Amino acid sequence: MTKFAQCVRKHGFPKFPDPPYSKGELNSLGLTTQRIGPLENGACHSDALAAGIVETRAELQQRLAAGLKVAECMRSHGVTNFPDPSSNGAFMLSPSVGNDAGYAAAAKTCSAPPGGPPTQANG
């Protein structure tokens, strides 16, 4: 984590602190995912991988495969319009899917995200 912090400071965020971080500390400093994320996948990617901040390609593939299993399970349990996960592994659920009469029971069986209004949930 310290090497990642050093890299972030080197690439334009001189006030990025060394770890450990208290809850909400980075956000309160304006160091949001939107601002730091490009470094996680760019100039500081190897340090972010080493620190466990970002997933390896294999970890992402595992998460996507698990998400596809959830989607297949949901469809096999009657929620026919349940989507496949997006390329980042999230499910975008429309109200018509999340409010399906059989959704709650299928979601419990398949470990799917909760239904209801449109949501984005990781798989």
β-bridge mates for residue 122, sequence order: 90
Residue with tokens 């659920």: 93
Looking at residue 76, its pLDDT comes to: 95
Looking at residue 21, its pLDDT comes to: 80
The span from the CA of 30 to the CA of 15, in Å, is 10
Which pLDDT tens digit goes with each residue over 51-100? Answer: 888 888 888 899 899 999 999 999 999 998 899 988 878 888 888 887 77
Contacts of 30 (CB under 8 A, 6+ apart): none
The pTM assigned to this predicted structure is 0.62
Looking at residue 117, its pLDDT comes to: 40
Return the structure tokens found at 59: 């970890």
Looking at residue 115, its pLDDT comes to: 67
Looking at residue 118, its pLDDT comes to: 42
Q: For residue 123, is pLDDT > 80?
A: no
